[in-house]
């Protein structure tokens, strides 16, 4: 297979779309979501699933209820007959009435903050019995991870707090099976959340677009003498919660174990990393605070050719060759062919699913037989690591969509479709990527990479 030839030079920046209206998930979409989960439960014989949530791990819970418990914990118990119970702490009881699926409310102050009142205290076993778990023969526990250990039985690995798992074991009838059922939500074959309809893609594109605007604004703010916090301020927007810790790090990272932007000033020649993400998308960049190749540091004078261009060629190949129906293993092997791990040091999945979380799961791994499907939202996430060299990144999010899904988006969300068309045209005509027809760019900065951050009018592109 021919590897794309990459060149560096002047390039018009992509269009930014501002004042984009958020799209609310419809009642029909929520009912479709519930139906998909129930179908998965039926196919695998689960009588009920218990879905855990806290602020950091609320995606599976939110998928059905529409909310997370913010600073508390919560459980959603979904019966195979469609009945739902939600167990909430003191300060989230009011949210039950707003749940996107009908729920019966139960209260557990154990899910509240330390030292809060314990009125209405009842054991979790009692609450589980009220929700009917004591009559179930097979119960699935849904945290946020699927476990596929090289040795051992992943079905018995649970990432819910011990006191909850213990209470469930005490509540169910003797001999009942308790298994990890997170795959019903995020697994490659059965996972309800791994594919999205037109309404969901429109809903999530809001965050992907926002992230790309933020990363572009941050790139434009980079200059010698500017502080990390000033660039970092560009990585938040519209009061939306970030799905990752925002990164604006110049020079050596993680000094004093710090993860956050500081008052450190950007210096000429520094490596610089930028990352931000919202529901539906992440944007990330790494490059040097220089204007031209001659300013690269000693020992990395060949960084552009040794690392940046090969990495970009892999991104281009990913965008050109991906298609619905190919296996995740085939895409993994394709990246390995273009950017061999032995030479470029990447070791994680070169792409993964996104949704409310920045990383939900991934069908893209060595030997994967999981098919890439219409409706999947994927983050391009190839991370080279070569000793002695600064890294490079241009992480962005796209969706896979067949003709039917593309037509649905065009019909129901014409403004979104116009943005997608503009992004596709930019990738094809300005950057020179022969973009796969199955790809819908959800952000404005897909494949837009400025390796030298002071040369704001130049970027990498394909030489045709």
Q: Which domains, ranges and CATH numbers included, belong to the chain? A: 47-180 (3.40.350.10), 195-462 (3.90.230.10)
pLDDT at position 154, please? 85
| Distance, CA of 284 to CA of 286 (rounded, Å) | 7
Question: Residue 189: pLDDT band by 50, 70, 90 thresholds?
Answer: confident
- Confidence (pTM): 0.96
Name the band, by pLDDT with cuts 50, 70 and 90, for residue 152.
Answer: confident
Beta bridge partners, 107, equal 88
Q: What span, in angstroms and rounded, lies between the C-alpha atoms of 124 and 112?
A: 13
Backbone angles phi, psi at 333, to 5 degrees: -65, -35
pLDDT at position 150 is 64
Strand partners, 178: 139
The mean of the pLDDT values for the chain is 96
Q: Which residue in 377, 379, 374, 368 sits closest to 336, CA to CA? A: 368
pLDDT digit string (tens) for 165-176? 999 999 999 999
The single-letter DSSP state of residue 193 is G
**Cβ contacts of 271 within 8 Å, gap of 6 or more:** 250, 251, 286, 287, 288, 289, 390, 391
3-state secondary structure at position 112:
coil
Q: Are 397 and 318 in contact (CB under 8 A)?
A: no
d(CA 435, CA 21): 27
Q: How confident is the model at residue 1 (pLDDT cuts 50, 70, 90)?
A: low
What distance in Å separates the CA atoms of residue 60 and residue 77, rounded to the nearest whole number?
Answer: 12
**Which residue pairs from 89-96 have beta carbons closer than 8 angstroms and sit at least 24 positions apart in sequence?**
89/113, 89/116, 90/116, 90/117, 95/65, 95/67, 95/69
In this prediction, residue 35 carries a pLDDT of 98
Whole-number pLDDT of residue 12: 97
CA distance 193 to 146: 14
Contacts of 370 (CB under 8 A, 6+ apart): 188, 189, 327, 328, 329, 363
pLDDT at 76: 98
DSSP assignment string, 48-90: EEEEEE-SSS-HHHHHHHS---TTS-EEEEEETTS-EEEEE-G
Band the pLDDT of 132: cuts 50, 70, 90.
Answer: very high
Q: 169: which DSSP letter?
A: H
Q: Give the dihedral of Cα atoms 311, 316, 317, 319; nearest 10 deg.
A: 130
Check whether 239 has a pLDDT greater than 70.
yes
Report pLDDT digits (tens) over 414-434: 999 999 999 999 999 999 999
Each residue of 73-121: pLDDT tens digit? 999 999 999 999 999 999 999 999 999 999 999 999 999 999 999 988 8
Whether 151 has a pLDDT exceeding 70, the answer reads: no
Residue 304 φ/ψ, nearest 5 degrees: -60, -45
Cβ atoms < 10 Å from Cβ of 348: 14
Contacts of 141 (CB under 8 A, 6+ apart): 49, 50, 52, 158, 160, 165, 168, 178, 179, 180, 181, 182
Q: Which two tokens stand for residue 453?
A: 């951050």
**Helix intervals (H) in 298-382:** 303, 309-321, 328-338, 341-344
Q: Is the pLDDT of residue 220 over 90?
A: yes
Question: Residue 254 in 3-state DSSP?
Answer: coil
**Contact present, 58 and 69 (Cβ < 8 Å):** yes
């Amino acid at each position: 297979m021919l590897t794309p030839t990459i060149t560096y030079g002047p390039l018009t920046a992509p269009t930014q779309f501002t004042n984009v209206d958020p799209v609310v998930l419809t009642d029909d979409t929520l009912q479709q979501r519930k139906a998909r989960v129930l179908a998965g439960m039926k196919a695998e014989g689960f009588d009920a699933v218990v879905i855990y949530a806290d602020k950091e791990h609320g995606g599976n819970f939110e998928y059905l209820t529409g909310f997370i418990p913010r600073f508390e914990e919560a459980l959603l118990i979904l019966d195979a007959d469609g009945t739902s119970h939600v167990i909430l702490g003191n300060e989230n009881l009011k949210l039950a009435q707003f749940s996107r699926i009908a729920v019966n409310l139960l209260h557990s102050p154990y899910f509240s903050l330390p030292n809060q009142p314990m009125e209405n205290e009842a054991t979790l076993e009692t609450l589980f019995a009220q929700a009917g778990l004591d009559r179930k023969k097979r119960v699935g526990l849904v945290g946020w991870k699927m476990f596929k250990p090289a040795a051992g039985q992943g079905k018995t690995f649970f990432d819910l707090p011990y006191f909850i798992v213990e209470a469930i074991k005490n509540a169910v009838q003797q001999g009942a099976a308790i298994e990890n059922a997170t795959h019903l939500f995020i697994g490659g074959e059965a996972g309800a959340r791994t594919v999205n309809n037109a309404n969901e893609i429109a809903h999530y594109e809001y965050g992907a677009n926002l992230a790309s605007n933020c990363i572009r604004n941050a790139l434009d703010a980079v200059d010698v003498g500017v502080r990390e916090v000033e660039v970092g301020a560009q990585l938040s927007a519209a009061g939306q919660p970030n799905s990752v810790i925002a990164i604006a790090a110049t020079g050596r990272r993680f000094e004093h174990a710090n993860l956050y932007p500081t008052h450190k000033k950007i210096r000429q020649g520094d490596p610089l990393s930028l990352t931000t993400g919202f529901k539906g998308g992440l944007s990330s960049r790494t490059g040097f605070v220089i204007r031209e190749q001659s300013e690269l540091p000693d020992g990395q004078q060949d960084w552009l050719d040794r690392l940046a261009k090969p990495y970009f060629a892999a991104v281009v190949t990913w965008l050109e060759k991906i298609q619905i129906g190919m296996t995740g293993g085939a895409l993994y092997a394709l990246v390995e062919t273009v950017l061999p791990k032995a030479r470029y040091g990447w070791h994680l999945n070169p792409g993964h699913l996104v949704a409310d979380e920045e990383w939900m799961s991934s069908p893209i791994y060595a030997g994967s037989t999981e098919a890439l499907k219409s409706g999947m939202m994927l983050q391009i996430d190839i991370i080279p690591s070569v000793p002695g060299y600064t890294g490079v990144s241009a992480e962005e999010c796209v969706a896979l969509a067949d003709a039917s899904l593309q037509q649905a988006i065009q019909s129901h969300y014409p403004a979104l479709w116009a943005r997608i068309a503009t992004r596709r045209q930019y990738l094809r005509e300005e950057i020179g990527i022969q973009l796969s027809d199955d790809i819908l760019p959800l952000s404005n900065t897909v494949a837009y990479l400025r390796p030298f951050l002071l040369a704001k009018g130049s970027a990498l592109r394909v030489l045709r």
